[in-house]
Structure 1
Amino acid sequence: MMTSVSTLDAALEKDFFTLPDLVRLHAAARPGHPALVQDGQTIDYAGLDRLMDRIAAALQRDGVQPTEAIAICASSSLHYAAVFLGALRAGVAVAPLAPSSSPDSLAGMVADAEARIMFLDQDAAGTLDQAAESVAVKRIFLDDEVVFASWLPDEDASPAPVHIQPDWPFNIIYSSGTTGAPKGIVQPHSMRWTHVQRGQVNGYDPSAVTVISTPLYSNTTLVSFFPTIGMGGTVVMMAKFDAKTFLELAQRHRATHAMLVPVQYQRIMAREDFGNYDLSSFRMKFCTSAPFSAALKADILKRWPGGLIEYYGMTEGGGTCMLAAHEFPDKLHTVGKPAPGHDIRLIDDAGREVGPGELGEVVGHSAAMMKGYHKQPAKTAEAEWHDASGKRFIRTGDVGRFDEDGFLVLMDRKKDMIISGGFNIYPSDLEAVLRQHPAVQEAAVVGVPSTRWGETPVAFVVASGPATADELLEWANQRLGKMQRLAAVELVGVLPRSAIGKVLKRELRDGFGKTL
């Protein structure tokens, strides 16, 4: 139920407010303003508010209680977004799941979330039906207009008021599972509220137009989606990313904001017709989720209007670093400084803070932190570090150092570091050298088993020009230190990536299948 706030400014000044209440506020102030746009269809704020009421009322009718969960597994759509927001109005947590998950992983996540209802499309249903063990959960199909409409109550249905508390679960975001079974990251309403509040700093306001081109199950997407809706702007949604379509939508809708992952930026900037599109409406562009090369940042700054901010952080929350690339063009090799109110420190393997300029694992604390991993207290404890005063930090698993100006320079994931003959090798150093070769488009380096060294580095390269694996191996090793030298180079057509562009190094490592 909405508290007594009548303006956006008054809401944003509060220590805590809710996203459903903000939608109600926008519906009253600007009912006809577009909230969600996709494929020529539009839902304005009045329509979104009514649809959220109907969805919340339907969940209450079906017995879903506040703080319980529903699951959504489908391509991004207007119905998907409305169900997510409507569930929040009922105080119900949302577990958005990746349609690309394996059958058993998908079934396991639905069971782990204890989802009372699952909203899905036909493709996700086909995946779920292949699971070794069936999942007994009510299914509502988002891509079947008749089924979805029949599930909804009457147009004028209203839910019983729910007084959402800051520590209630907002959503359960599941980790990719690239290093084991996916873990459910429980993010509270208070964490999402901080994301909405900081939107003001980045130019989100009621006139904002954000093009969303990554999946709605990804936290990468949600940290841009929710501030846009919370501030009363317009979200233009893409079910699937395509560089040309993105540019067309950005030009047509006069986009002001976008959150893209590095591989998307790379594909957009590589288009020969990039300069033909009018992108002058952009205020700010964001990037997160994967390594973002300095050269690519520089190209974006040169040719794409508006600011560019790189976020470094985790779905689990904790500390975030922020690089305003347009303000610090000489720091493009870094991920920036800790965001205001964020405490970032570096620790060694024994949990001790390291000295200035030294390498250490990145840990962070802020107001935006997960409650923990769903039903996994031991895993939660592993992800935490406490300083001498007992202050709680989240461990990132990344290794980095602060430069003399306080900017964080990342090396690698701790788990991706290669220990060869007792010497630490950071794959990012080797990848940076390989990318200097004119025939190398992309490169990923992993450690594989070695009889002599324990582990040894192998590079997987996507070539953009004529070069053999042996030529690239010789060229790179002439430029690498003695203990960094590659044992092999493998030419591949593409690097395996997650839906948000992260290179799946475990797949490369497992697929190599031999000891050197």
Structure 2
Amino acid sequence: MTERAALVFEDREYGRTELTALADGLAGRLARRGVGAGDRVALMSSNRPEFVLAVLAVWRLGAAVVLLSPAWRRGEVEHALEITRPAHAIGDHPVLRGLMPMLHLDEPIEPGRGDEVRYDPRADAVLVFSSGTTGMPKAVRHTHGSLAAAVRHWRDALGLTSADRIQIATPPSHILGLLNIVTALEAGAWLRLHRRFDLDRLLHHIELDRITVEMAVAPIALAIASHPKLERYDLSSLRYIMWGATPVTPSIAETVTRRTGVGWVPAYGASELPVIACNPLDGARLDTPGRPVPGVSMRVVSLETGEELGPGETGEIEVRSQSLMAGYLPAEATADALHDGWYRTGDVGSLDADGWVHLTDRSKEMIKVRAFQVAPAEVEAVLHGHPAVADCAVFGIPDGADGEAVIAAVQRAAPVEAEELIELIGSRLASYKRPRHIEFVSGIPRLPSGKVLRRVLKEQALKERDGRTSHS
């Protein structure tokens, strides 16, 4: 009897037994190169089955894997290597190969046989990088114990079983991609890995493979909602689509549900604590990422005093759990994020009396106008409601009179004037939340996770402003 596929990539299927044997074989090659318990191994790879095998092989040796994004440039990789100091490297990327000796994943992997592995829950398992929306990215250290707790939380939150079929097109070097892969393997679910994101291929495989759970971040949700031929695809196998990494845009989610009949399950997490909150699978709401998952404690503290706040009061969200990271590299960054076992998320929001989480925005991204705080997400939600807006991002730039000026970058789906959009925001929100200026752009820069790179937009806006000033 042929073993059921656990991982599928293009036309290639891997059973669980074959995955284990190939991981053992690759572990043997790494061991002969000197990889041992406690070492760190850099992994920079495209989306491919060998990425999964490399992670499993490194773990089988008691080493930790340092995940580097294949989208990074040389300077970003140099920074990551400098703060994590891996002794070995594996992957398929020329940038990593140019910086240190690398075992190339194109080399054939022969099956092997290893002993049963027992992971030390206190040992580092993976180092992933924080989103880096401000400053240089930090490495987030997860132990085998914290990662296993995150996998349990994710499996329970999604209701994932061996009957489920999922696919992954987002980079596995990001915490969400890795979490989805490991959770699918742990649950015995059927998993298709895609080489890259292609919307039509994704929709085709939902229909062809009878996918039951689809994972989406904001750019994917936007692409699905605006697909002109979406109704041609049979998506009836889906139990739901999960929306993570960014707050839900209700108008986008509702458009997809109206056109496909498929509902959404919003969730909330961070690289430092991968699963924080999730909606119930039945009766999910679009105005909240859900309630804290079992095993995660959450509280809201004052942005000014740090004192714990009551239901409905807005402040910074703090969380603690067995799934919490062990700390950052560089290590000195850890003290600002952890205190008394609580992780400071940097997210601003509230918990209502029934335990639902309501996110306002990132505290580091809040815009201060004449001492008033403006949440970019709040302004963006209004802009997204205009039919001529395909995508948008709101940010602040320094202003001599008001402290900061609100700026909106807008990608148009149809002709519209800036004055019309500013007037729309002014009709929905307080006057100080109206953008001073709207920049029309060809696209909104985002990380693979879907998070907006406001820093990039801010730098562009400042250059343009300074250029205008120097010529006036």
TM-based fold match above 0.5: yes
Match of 1:266 among 219, 222, 226: 222
> Amino acid of the residue matched to residue 103 of structure 2?
I
Match of 1:41 among 9, 12, 25: 12
Q: Is this contact kept in 1: 2:44–2:96, CA < 8 A?
A: no
Secondary structure at the aligned position of 1:119 is classed as strand
Partner of 1:279: 235
Secondary structure at the aligned position of 1:182 is classed as coil
Match of 2:362 among 383, 393, 413: 413
Partner of 1:492: 441
**Structure 2: gaps of 5 or more residues:** none
Structure 1 residues 365 and 379: CA distance shift in structure 2, 3 A: same
Q: How far apart are the structure 1 equivalents of 2:260 and 2:63? A: 40
Match of 2:287 among 322, 333, 337: 333
Match of 1:50 among 18, 21, 25: 21
Q: Is this contact kept in 1: 2:165–2:212, CA < 8 A?
A: yes
Q: Is this contact kept in 2: 1:307–1:324, CA < 8 A?
A: no
What are the residue-to-residue correspondences of 1:271-350 with 2, within 5 Å? Answer: 271-304=227-260, 308-317=264-273, 320-324=276-280, 326-328=282-284, 331-349=285-303, 350=305
Match of 2:90 among 119, 139, 150: 119
Alpha-carbon offset, residue 301 of structure 1: 4.1
Q: Deviations over 1:317-337 (max 9, x none)?
A: 177111236414xx4211111
Secondary structure at the aligned position of 1:446 is classed as strand
Secondary structure at the aligned position of 2:354 is classed as coil
Q: Is this contact kept in 2: 1:318–1:367, CA < 8 A?
A: no
Q: Deviations over 1:153-203 (max 9, x none)?
A: x64x43466532111111100123331222111111112222333425533
> Amino acid of the residue matched to residue 229 of structure 1?
L
Q: Does 2:184 align with 1:228?
A: yes
What are the residue-to-residue correspondences of 1:81-480 with 2, within 5 Å? Answer: 81-121=52-92, 124-126=93-95, 129=98, 135=99, 137-142=100-105, 144=106, 148-149=107-108, 152=109, 155=111, 157-159=112-114, 162-198=117-153, 199-200=155-156, 202-304=158-260, 308-317=264-273, 320-324=276-280, 326-328=282-284, 331-349=285-303, 350-374=305-329, 376-386=330-340, 392-480=341-429
Alpha-carbon offset, residue 43 of structure 1: 1.6
Q: Does 2:450 align with 1:511?
A: no
TM-score of the superposed pair, with normalisation by structure 1: 0.84
Q: How far apart are the structure 1 equivalents of 2:430 and 2:414? A: 25
Alpha-carbon offset, residue 98 of structure 1: 0.6
Q: Deviations over 1:295-338 (max 9, x none)?
A: 2333444454666322112110177111236414xx42111111
Q: Is this contact kept in 2: 1:269–1:300, CA < 8 A?
A: yes
Q: Deviations over 1:63-93 (max 9, x none)?
A: 2111211111121101111111122122221
Alpha-carbon offset, residue 423 of structure 1: 1.4
Secondary structure at the aligned position of 2:87 is classed as strand
> Amino acid of the residue matched to residue 42 of structure 2?
A
Is the deviation greater in 403-412 or in 49-58? 403-412
Structure 1 residues 486 and 200: CA distance shift in structure 2, 3 A: closer
Q: How far apart are the structure 2 equivalents of 1:268 and 1:79? A: 29
Q: How far apart are the structure 2 equivalents of 1:428 and 1:357? A: 18
Q: Deviations over 1:371-403 (max 9, x none)?
A: 1113x33211110133xxxxx111110100123
Partner of 1:481: 430
Secondary structure at the aligned position of 1:269 is classed as helix
Q: Is this contact kept in 2: 1:116–1:138, CA < 8 A?
A: no
> Amino acid of the residue matched to residue 120 of structure 2?
Q
> Amino acid of the residue matched to residue 244 of structure 2?
T
Secondary structure at the aligned position of 1:332 is classed as coil
Alpha-carbon offset, residue 468 of structure 1: 2.1
Q: Deviations over 1:203-255 (max 9, x none)?
A: 32223221001011011112211111112222101121111100111211111
Q: How far apart are the structure 2 equivalents of 1:414 and 1:126? A: 34
Q: How far apart are the structure 1 equivalents of 2:378 and 2:151? A: 36
Secondary structure at the aligned position of 2:102 is classed as strand
Partner of 1:3: none
> Amino acid of the residue matched to residue 344 of structure 1?
M
> Amino acid of the residue matched to residue 347 of structure 1?
V
Q: Is this contact kept in 2: 1:72–1:119, CA < 8 A?
A: yes
Q: Deviations over 1:4-38 (max 9, x none)?
A: xxxxxxxxxxxxxxxxxxxxxxxxxx972112211
Q: Is this contact kept in 2: 1:52–1:85, CA < 8 A?
A: yes
Is the deviation greater in 40-49 or in 433-442? 433-442
> Amino acid of the residue matched to residue 352 of structure 2?
D
Q: Is this contact kept in 2: 1:319–1:344, CA < 8 A?
A: no
> Amino acid of the residue matched to residue 426 of structure 1?
A
Q: How far apart are the structure 1 equivalents of 2:118 and 2:168? A: 30
> Amino acid of the residue matched to residue 196 of structure 2?
K
Q: How far apart are the structure 2 equivalents of 1:81 and 1:264? A: 23
Secondary structure at the aligned position of 1:138 is classed as coil
**Structure 1: gaps of 5 or more residues:** 1-29, 130-134, 387-391
Q: Does 2:41 align with 1:70?
A: yes
TM-score of the superposed pair, with normalisation by structure 2: 0.92
Secondary structure at the aligned position of 2:386 is classed as coil
Q: How far apart are the structure 1 equivalents of 2:274 and 2:234? A: 37
> Amino acid of the residue matched to residue 493 of structure 1?
S
Alpha-carbon offset, residue 365 of structure 1: 0.9
Q: Deviations over 1:109-158 (max 9, x none)?
A: 1243222322222xx314764xxxxx3x321222x3xxx12xx5x64x43
